[in-house]
Structure 1
Amino acid sequence: MKRFLLAATVVCTPLTATANPSIPTIIDDHILPRFETLADTSAALSQAAIQNCDPSSEALRKAYGTAFDAWVSASHLRFGPTEVDDRAFALAFWPDSRGATPRALATLIADKDPIGLGAEGYSEVSIAARGFYALEFLLYDEPLMQPSDYHCTLVQTVTADIAATSSAIYNDWEASYVDVLLSPAPDATYRSEEEVLQEMLRALTTGLQFTQESRLGRPLGTFDRPRPTRAEVRRSGRSAQHVVLSLTSLQDLASHLAVSDETLSDKLNHQFKDALGKLATLNDPVFAGVADPQSRLKVEVISQSVGTIRSTVQTELGRTLGVAAGFNSLDGD
């Protein structure tokens, strides 16, 4: 059931800077629609796998892409229900620097492990064998996409597990976590509205950091040692698309948070537009060009553009909100 805190519709264009950030509006316009879409598209993905589990199925791959788009657009919201039972990692175990995902899947398939025969117990397997990145291997990686009865069932199990996790996240948001954000108190999860805004600012900064350092930084590597094979979801040709999706969603959140400062709002919107414009002209869907000095420069410039946005958010937006982003899960110990 859809829950609307305000009589508002989702706004895709940047907001006009006329009021202080509204937590109910951010929930209604930015957070809930993304998790509802994730739940809906993941359910459709599971149904597509039931109808045709062949890894080369156009309908299945299309449903996979649509649901994965929805996750990327919500993936910066790494607090509350996404963190329960490591749900975010269950949907998206990446980066995987040790190749745990293909190893875990290969073992399941070789052993025809019964745990892969149904979603009910699949949450007990290695987290590397769950979620969208595991499904990419099953649908696009030649050694792991060989059709068989077990492979078919495993695809159905993984998609059902994705759907269950996505539904649990959205249900928890609707059932309880909206109220957690709207009811700060001295003994509550958030003690003040400022702490709620700090959480949202942290989501924005973490999303930008992940996009620059992982989605762009991993394939870039160093000038002497570029790493094009480390690009996110290169097998399905989605690497650059994920950067576009992430920046578009983060721009929406930034617009909501900067609503009280028209100058800053315009500055951030210009910086996001600049980065997205550079991506639009790249014509390199998996960042394969990072190994060529001339093409590499274009990806480096995009990374620098994202870095400029990060700097503006860190030095100006936090000051405007009266909060600091604080530490996030990417900062390490």
Structure 2
Amino acid sequence: MRILTALLLLVPLAAQADPAIDRVLGQVVTPGLSRFVAATDALDQAAQADCRAESADLRTAWNGAMDAWFAIADLRFGPLEDGARRQVIAYWPDKSGHRPKALSRILSSQDPALTTPERYGEQPVSVRGLYAIEAMLYDPRFNTYGATDPGCALVRAATADLARTARDVATDWNTGFAETLRTAGEAGNPRFLDEIEARQVIFTALLTSLQFDITERLGLPLGTPDTPRPTRAEGRLSQRSQHNLELALAAHQALALALVPEGATMTEEDFERVRWMASKLDDPDFSAVEDPMGRFRLEAVQTALTLLRAEANEELSAALGVTMGLNALDGD
């Protein structure tokens, strides 16, 4: 018996699952990916049935896919970053105006990708994904096509490409990366040498997403007091600018509360306050930035979000024992 006991002591114990990682996977990743795959499949089916921009079913399906995207948009690591899939799904902001030019080119040139949808994945990211489809449905420069026009073929190719990308992301999470996160620190896991690294990559993604709201989602339309830029707002064409912000904030809250351990001081009220402010903007496309009062309200949300991010950084880093790592916004 003593020999058996001694031998057992020599066997390395498997690392215990990190409850923070399990919560993130169970509460955010798995349901979010499932919903996004279902929503993009529904969008593709709607486009194959009626690809015209005026189709109510198509617009409803596109809005459903956009809504579903925000539930996983904070996952700025792993399968969503591999192969530039984030850019493929949601290429925004388009600060250099690539999308209109690229859409015009592909529509006027009768590109083979329009008749061979599986080749659409070879196109630049500016004409792929949710925001390219938004332009085709809502931008008056592109949304007047008929059922037999190149625009219809483009929408069908783009929705099929998006649905494939969503399935690929979900497959890679479900068949490998989720377990890579769970087994952080175990032998044979070269990606995460300890569980702190796994926590850090999620924590960094959360803070990066909060910063993205501050500098891009709000900062771009705010511009400067002398030069507001409402046309740079995300979702302006589809009148979703405020709605997108609200969905983004809800997703940040869900990720933070899944990540935070028991006893941490980060509370739901910290997020609820900013979400309440955003819900009261009454400014669907952020065009009110050109009005002094409208600008003041949007700046107030930006200030509150900046404070929230600083608070999250301080409290969560201490509670989780991590610091912020490098992120995709560094060097921008």
Please report the RMSD computed on the Cα atoms of aligned residues, expressed in angstroms: 1.3
Structure 1 contact 271–308 (Cα < 8 Å) conserved: no
Establish whether residue 81 from structure 1 lines up as the match of residue 79 from structure 2: yes
**How far did 1:145 drift?**
1.2
Point out where structure 2 has 5 or more consecutive residues left out of the alignment: 1-17
How far apart, CA to CA, are the structure 2 residues paired with 1:212 and 1:31? 24
The aligned counterpart of 1:11 is none
Per-residue deviation, residues 266-316 of structure 1 (Å, max 9, x unmatched): 2xx222111111112111011111111111000000111111111011122
How far apart, CA to CA, are the structure 1 residues paired with 2:230 and 2:209? 21
How far apart, CA to CA, are the structure 2 residues paired with 1:257 and 1:127? 31
**How far did 1:171 drift?**
0.9
How far apart, CA to CA, are the structure 1 residues paired with 2:155 and 2:116? 10
Paired amino acid for 2:176: S
SS of the aligned residue for 2:284 comes to coil
**How far did 1:331 drift?**
1.2
Structure 2 contact 27–258 (Cα < 8 Å) conserved: no
The aligned counterpart of 1:201 is 203
Establish whether residue 277 from structure 1 lines up as the match of residue 276 from structure 2: yes
Paired amino acid for 1:157: A
The aligned counterpart of 1:265 is 266
Paired amino acid for 2:266: S
Establish whether residue 160 from structure 1 lines up as the match of residue 160 from structure 2: yes
The aligned counterpart of 1:114 is 112
Structure 1 contact 104–128 (Cα < 8 Å) conserved: yes
**How far did 1:259 drift?**
2.9
**How far did 1:98 drift?**
1.1
How far apart, CA to CA, are the structure 2 residues paired with 1:258 and 1:72? 20
SS of the aligned residue for 1:295 comes to helix
The aligned counterpart of 2:93 is 95
Structure 1 contact 49–155 (Cα < 8 Å) conserved: yes
Structure 1 contact 215–232 (Cα < 8 Å) conserved: yes
Tell me the TM-score normalised to structure 2 length.
0.91
Tell me the TM-score normalised to structure 1 length.
0.91
Structure 2 contact 20–199 (Cα < 8 Å) conserved: no
Count residues in correspondence. Answer: 311
Establish whether residue 144 from structure 1 lines up as the match of residue 142 from structure 2: yes
How far apart, CA to CA, are the structure 2 residues paired with 1:292 and 1:271? 28
How far apart, CA to CA, are the structure 2 residues paired with 1:303 and 1:21? 32
Point out where structure 1 has 5 or more consecutive residues left out of the alignment: 1-19
**How far did 1:32 drift?**
1.2
Per-residue deviation, residues 32-65 of structure 1 (Å, max 9, x unmatched): 1111111110000000001111101110000000
Larger radius of gyration: 2
The aligned counterpart of 2:52 is 54
**How far did 1:75 drift?**
0.8
**How far did 1:261 drift?**
2.6
Paired amino acid for 1:39: V
Establish whether residue 245 from structure 1 lines up as the match of residue 243 from structure 2: no
